[in-house]
Structure 1
Amino acid sequence: MPLIHGDLEVEVVSGEDLVDQDNALFNIIPGDWSDVWVDVNLGTTNILQTRIRNNTISPIWNERVYLPVYQSADFLEVTVWDKDHLRSEMIGRGRVLVGDHDKAWRKDGPVFLDGGKGKINMKINYTPAAQARAESIEVPKGYYKMRKGGSLTLYQDANATKIPGIVGTSDGAFVAMAETIRRAKKFIYIAAWSLWTGTRLERDKDTLGELLKQKAAEGVRVLLLLWNEKFSAGLCAGLIGTFDEDTDRYFEKTGVHVQKARRTRTGSNFLRDKLVEVVWTHHQKMLVADDGGDDIVAFLGGLDLTAGRWDTPEHELFSTLLGEHRGDFHNGFIKVKESQGPREPWHDVHGRLTGQAAIDLLRNFEERWRKQASKNVHLLFPLSEEDLKPSSGPTGDVTWQIQVVRSIDKDSAEFDSSRVGLLDSAGGHLADTSLHTALVRLVRRAENFLYIESQYFIGSSQAWEKDQDCARNLVPLEIAERVVSKIRAGKEFRAYILLPMIPEGNPDEHIIRSSMKTILYYQHLTIQMMYKRIAAALQEVGSKNHPTDYLLILCLGKKESRTRVARSAGVETPRPGSEESKWRQRSRFLIYVHSKMALADDSHILMGSANLNQRSLDGIRDTELAVSACQVREGSNSHEEAVTDGVVRDFRKSLWAEHTTGLSQEEDDLADPASLAAVRRLKQLADDALETYVRDDSDSEPRSRFLRYPLDVSQDGTVKARPGMPNIPDFDIPAVGCRGLIPPTPSV
């Protein structure tokens, strides 16, 4: 059975002469024909499900999907169904044999259903991964095109400080956003999972709420599109803490227009549609505004404009409690006094765009506003293409290529009718699934190394040892495949994945505890699948190298000496035996990784709001937004070549310098992430740092905040809890997780 590994475009055009299920036996109601829809499967993977066409035996769909595939299969299976009130009944089934797995092929024409029950006209186009690898980073036939020009500024954490070993520093994401808001003369649009009006983007200046009210009073059109959390009112008020009700009340009669939007779904299943409102979210995090002139400035990434997100690369635990974090204290894991701490350090990645890609982000907001604030469409500031004069970006021989990619469906955006043909048919819904495709494309094109930071890492369940249907995104499988292909070719390649030590939540609350364990369980299945494949490849080529020489899973933690903690100015001394006293004695806390970023070869970066899990990458679950970007310069024969010594490389080096407090800039072994020396040195640093982190009697501060994720990987790829460390440090939660009360779908 051939492995179909590449990009597959499938279009269901129409049906002809389909057997009528409704009138096949009794012609009771004249004109009552079958209500038909089509399922297309490649092996065990459902790749396309059309919408229902009512009362017809000659339906026209013109629905397509463009998606990456990794599936062993001999044929595509096409099934036609008749939708009845209580269930669906199969009309017929047909097959299309796949072509060569290692060559591009196209098949257009009818697929005949068995038993002479009609035919489905289809168009199928396949491009093997090896061929796509030679193409650009652009997602083909994406809703938004790859844009040339403009600029992309990358930020680590909300506020900038000097990073050891790194020359220069930017203003920081929050300061840059505050400056953009102040300069705006026409409009300010914000789409947010959570927005807290008390956020001070600049610690010594106005709150975000005050700043936005001032701009509205100046006549600037200020529109806020907030996720309307199902449990933010009533008996469960404040369960998740998104502040949507508080924000709405704060801006009443101020000229700032707030639209709270539930993540709704319109379908034929009432209970499922209601469940969507509880489970899925609007997760985009973006700000777009005019720059005071004719240009547009946009921000997107992982940072929410809400409580607890302001942090610096120092990630202080105690010393800022009565300073920068007074009134903005957050710890989602434990209940401690704000004046005694520790706080929860927050690591994140964000970006600022100009140029045509920023206009695409503007259009994304407008599409969502038209759908989710349909009664207030008139509030959108009128902007035609002629009104917009995007920046061409810095002059010189280096140019940005930037593509906006999304996970979003028709229930969350009013798509441009002229681009509907570029959308996928996902579960009978039109959806933009380009974000998942862009991530897979980044992984497939990587030649030397991958560096990923993600809040969650779950996927490719079709390759797990069990529970194979819950999270079928391809990203983990593609990473493992890229490593395996390099091992077989005898070439160096590394993948570094940075995750939070544990999902955020207070484990003392039973439902949250169950969710945390469930997430870790599926994360463990994901990681073990990858290591098993890498171990098998090493055995196949006779290598004695260890699987962790190719794939390294890391987390972050901050250990502060007790002497340093004791010197923290003005911090209250906790009562002996209290929760605060216990944490003061430990003088450590995990650094929560909230980034959503993948980086390849110091040249290509994808960053935005999407985590590496099914929720974010599905297309019809959480609404997500990201950009895929690289810098290019003209090379030999006038061909564009990816820049490997530009902004993306500098950003990766700055991240590593933050996580090693400058060691990565000092040690030659860490200079080349693709080298065996680099991965082994980083393993050593991370192992030593983890051992120091968990020692209660230690008064040292390890320079590496990279910690080895507390799992043990054997030579054969088996992944277990680390010896002597069955649980996540400081939390009574098993490192490999376990099945909890929460079903998999909301968790993955």
Structure 2
Amino acid sequence: MPAIAGGRTELGWFLTQEQRGNDATRIRPWTEGNAVRPLVHGSTYFAVLAEALARAGEGDLVFFSDWRGDPDEQLTEDGETVVQALSRAVHRGAIVKGLIWRSHLDRLRFSNEENRNLSEDVNDVGGEVLLDQRVRAAGSHHQKFVVVRHPERPADDVVMLGGIDLAHGRRDDADHRGDPQSVPFAHQYGTRPPWHDVHVEIRGPAVRDVEDVFRERWEDPAALSRLPWQAIPDILRGEDRRADGLPPPMADPPEAGTCAVQLLRTYPQRRPGYPYAPAGERSAARGYAKALRRARRLVYVEDQYLWSADVARVFAAALRREPGLHLIAVVPRYPDQDGTLARMPVRLGHARALQIVRAAGGDRVQVLDVENHAGNPVYVHAKVCVIDDVWATVGSDNFNRRSWTHDSELTAAILDQRRDEREPRDPGGLGDGARRFARELRLELWREHLDRDDDDGLLDPTDAIEAVRASAVALDAWHDGGRSGPRPPGRLRAHPAVHMTRWQRLLAAPVYNAVVDPDGRPAWLKVRGQH
């Protein structure tokens, strides 16, 4: 496989416009000249967001999308809440528009009331936040991003996107003691669940593409909800059910850095079809599949839901094709909900996925989970992938069938044009060379997970893989020995295999396939097993 396809490294890793499989979208195949900064942990992201919103004033644009939004979530300790930051931007003259998933009922542990409250509170001061239920049955809008644009100061334009909701439970930091404003959660995580998550900040031309993602959804003429039990109460309450017009699009912000950014998305097939994706879009699934075909040494994943056989087969194919390839995946130790009925379908998908990748890779596969220094499990909500320190993604899509076919998702694939000159300079051996953003993202995450202050032994994949394995083995042995003696450094532990009886699998399968991990592809793609 050539290192540089058609004279461009990006063409070897990124999807072409044709490979995206959606001619109706206005977003470009990718953009160059972007500055991208990882925002690891909710507290980091919220502080950056608070500053960006504070700079929004007369005539500036604030566009956002989210799965969940809690109006009273504090962005900083003793600082503004989400609704205060958005409302004050409106009062300063900013144009604030938002699309939040309408959500299922709170008693099902969703966020219908919270999302409605955030919408109403911002609308009351002159913003416009709509509750968007233009999804498939049992689906959701899962994109999480904020766009801030300044017509008079385009160099300050910024996007923040990734896996972090504007919600309770997310404002944690590297110590992982949890957000003081917690959410109801599985009892194993305690009353203040520790939370690990990742976002990115992007400046440069990609800002306009994320803005176009928002504009495409905002301008969709379909009703926000066609369900009568939702539409009729909305009409009686006088809810805003029709989007006002947006200001005309602006030109690209100026180039700001060295990163090429490709936006990967998921939209399901639905009726009526999305004007910007009539047959849906599965560029997230296609983007991972293409990048994994170039994987040679190390695929590193952090994910909330590594539980789909369809997704696991894509990783398994890479492991079988490349005998020197290793997969390290960091996942939550426990599902996020209590109760047998909630857990069993999740366990089924998880068991299938892990069985597939372990059968393909054997001891080249390490599946791990995280704990804090008190020994409490940390809920991994991040959605991150780094391949051979070249190509990296941060976004909202999980590694499951729902995220790859059924819910709306948005992920940034990042290829830094800066080479990292530290050895090994080309860990994949394809001539691409290690890239600064991808390598630094992996190292930042591993320094935290391994309790390291430096990168010694973490650059070369062979050494790094063994460092992770040794750290997890030592911590597991310390626990198995009754926690006697000093706690070894590191926070990673081997993730236990999931065992289910035949009857448990049979009973869980219908709920798993219909509700937990549904398939949003057109029938002809399902039959072919393609995305």
Aligned mate of 1:485, from 303, 316, 321: 321
The alpha-carbon deviation at position 191 of structure 1 amounts to 0.4
The alpha-carbon deviation at position 680 of structure 1 amounts to 3.6
The alpha-carbon deviation at position 388 of structure 1 amounts to 2.0
Q: Check the 8 A contact 2:472/2:490 in 1, yes or no.
A: yes
Q: Check the 8 A contact 1:302/1:594 in 2, yes or no.
A: yes
**SS of 2:141 mapped into structure 1:** coil
The aligned residue for residue 260 of structure 1 is 131
The aligned residue for residue 288 of structure 1 is 147
**SS of 1:612 mapped into structure 2:** coil
1:250/1:699 CA distance change after superposition, 3 Å = farther
Q: Are 2:47 and 1:188 equivalent residues in the alignment?
A: no
**SS of 1:313 mapped into structure 2:** coil
**SS of 1:248 mapped into structure 2:** helix
The aligned residue for residue 217 of structure 1 is 91
**SS of 2:154 mapped into structure 1:** coil
Q: Check the 8 A contact 1:454/1:611 in 2, yes or no.
A: yes
1:703/1:408 CA distance change after superposition, 3 Å = same
Q: Distance in 1 between matches of 2:367 and 2:98?
A: 37
The alpha-carbon deviation at position 366 of structure 1 amounts to 0.8
| 1:62-89 deviation per Cα after TM superposition (whole angstroms, max 9, x unaligned) | xxxxxxxxxxxxxxxxxxxxxxxxxxxx
Output aligned runs, 1:49-198, within 5 Å. 135-140=11-16, 141=18, 142=20, 143=25, 144-159=28-43, 172-185=44-57, 186-198=60-72
**SS of 1:222 mapped into structure 2:** strand
Q: Partner letter of residue 316 of structure 1?
A: R
TM-score, structure 2 length as denominator? 0.80
Q: Check the 8 A contact 2:37/2:201 in 1, yes or no.
A: yes
The aligned residue for residue 500 of structure 1 is 332
Q: Check the 8 A contact 1:520/1:738 in 2, yes or no.
A: no
**SS of 1:602 mapped into structure 2:** coil
**SS of 2:293 mapped into structure 1:** helix
Q: Distance in 2 between matches of 1:137 and 1:334?
A: 41
Q: Distance in 2 between matches of 1:627 and 1:433?
A: 14
1:634/1:707 CA distance change after superposition, 3 Å = closer
Aligned mate of 2:279, from 423, 426, 430: 430
Q: Check the 8 A contact 2:392/2:438 in 1, yes or no.
A: yes
1:263/1:414 CA distance change after superposition, 3 Å = closer
TM-score, structure 1 length as denominator? 0.58
Identity %: 22
Aligned mate of 1:706, from 475, 492, 503: 492
1:672/1:593 CA distance change after superposition, 3 Å = same
Q: Check the 8 A contact 2:262/2:412 in 1, yes or no.
A: yes
1:373/1:258 CA distance change after superposition, 3 Å = farther
Q: Distance in 2 between matches of 1:335 and 1:652?
A: 28
The aligned residue for residue 452 of structure 1 is 301
| 1:56-114 deviation per Cα after TM superposition (whole angstroms, max 9, x unaligned) | xxxxxxxxxxxxxxxxxxxxxxxxxxxxxxxxxxxxxxxxxxxxxx9xxxxxxxxxxxx
Output aligned runs, 1:634-653, within 5 Å. 642-653=432-443
The aligned residue for residue 632 of structure 1 is 417
Aligned mate of 1:316, from 177, 185, 201: 177
Q: Distance in 2 between matches of 1:643 and 1:354?
A: 24
The aligned residue for residue 78 of structure 2 is 204
Output aligned runs, 1:508-547, within 5 Å. 513-534=340-361, 547=362
Q: Check the 8 A contact 1:633/1:642 in 2, yes or no.
A: no
1:331/1:665 CA distance change after superposition, 3 Å = farther
Q: Distance in 2 between matches of 1:553 and 1:738?
A: 25
The aligned residue for residue 163 of structure 2 is 302
**SS of 1:148 mapped into structure 2:** strand
Q: Distance in 2 between matches of 1:281 and 1:504?
A: 18
1:220/1:693 CA distance change after superposition, 3 Å = farther
1:485/1:149 CA distance change after superposition, 3 Å = same
The aligned residue for residue 672 of structure 1 is 460
The alpha-carbon deviation at position 685 of structure 1 amounts to 1.8
The alpha-carbon deviation at position 413 of structure 1 amounts to 8.0
Output aligned runs, 1:258-657, within 5 Å. 258-265=129-136, 276=137, 279-291=138-150, 293-295=153-155, 296-316=157-177, 325-326=179-180, 328-334=181-187, 342-371=191-220, 376-383=242-249, 387-394=250-257, 399-409=258-268, 414-416=274-276, 430-459=279-308, 461=309, 472=310, 475-487=311-323, 492-507=324-339, 513-534=340-361, 547-548=362-363, 550-560=364-374, 588-618=375-405, 621-632=406-417, 642-657=432-447
User: How large is the Cα RMSD of the aligned pairs?
Assistant: 3.2
Q: Check the 8 A contact 1:154/1:352 in 2, yes or no.
A: yes
Q: Partner letter of residue 246 of structure 1?
A: N
Unaligned segments of structure 2, at least 5 residues: 225-240, 421-429, 518-531
1 or 2, which has the higher strand percentage?
Answer: 1
Aligned mate of 1:747, from 496, 516, 519: 516
Q: Check the 8 A contact 2:261/2:415 in 1, yes or no.
A: yes
Q: Distance in 2 between matches of 1:330 and 1:221?
A: 30
Q: Check the 8 A contact 1:193/1:285 in 2, yes or no.
A: yes
Q: Partner letter of residue 211 of structure 2?
A: L
Q: Distance in 2 between matches of 1:664 and 1:522?
A: 37
The alpha-carbon deviation at position 409 of structure 1 amounts to 4.2
Q: Check the 8 A contact 2:303/2:381 in 1, yes or no.
A: yes
Q: Check the 8 A contact 2:328/2:365 in 1, yes or no.
A: yes
The aligned residue for residue 239 of structure 1 is 109
The aligned residue for residue 233 of structure 2 is none
The aligned residue for residue 423 of structure 2 is none
The alpha-carbon deviation at position 256 of structure 1 amounts to 2.1
The alpha-carbon deviation at position 135 of structure 1 amounts to 4.3
| Relative contact order higher in (CA < 8 Å, ≥ 6 apart) | 2
The alpha-carbon deviation at position 689 of structure 1 amounts to 1.7
Q: Check the 8 A contact 2:273/2:279 in 1, yes or no.
A: no
**SS of 1:452 mapped into structure 2:** strand
1:634/1:177 CA distance change after superposition, 3 Å = closer
The aligned residue for residue 683 of structure 1 is 469
Q: Partner letter of residue 305 of structure 1?
A: L
Q: Distance in 2 between matches of 1:609 and 1:329?
A: 21
Larger Rg: 1
1 or 2, which has the higher helix percentage?
Answer: 2
The alpha-carbon deviation at position 648 of structure 1 amounts to 1.7
1:738/1:206 CA distance change after superposition, 3 Å = farther
**SS of 2:394 mapped into structure 1:** strand
Unaligned segments of structure 1, at least 5 residues: 1-101, 103-128, 160-171, 266-275, 318-324, 417-422, 424-428, 462-471, 508-512, 535-546, 561-587, 712-719, 727-732
Q: Distance in 2 between matches of 1:393 and 1:643?
A: 22
The alpha-carbon deviation at position 376 of structure 1 amounts to 4.0
1:495/1:253 CA distance change after superposition, 3 Å = same
Q: Check the 8 A contact 2:64/2:99 in 1, yes or no.
A: yes
1:150/1:682 CA distance change after superposition, 3 Å = closer
Q: Partner letter of residue 533 of structure 1?
A: A
The aligned residue for residue 17 of structure 1 is none
Q: Distance in 1 between matches of 2:483 and 2:347?
A: 29
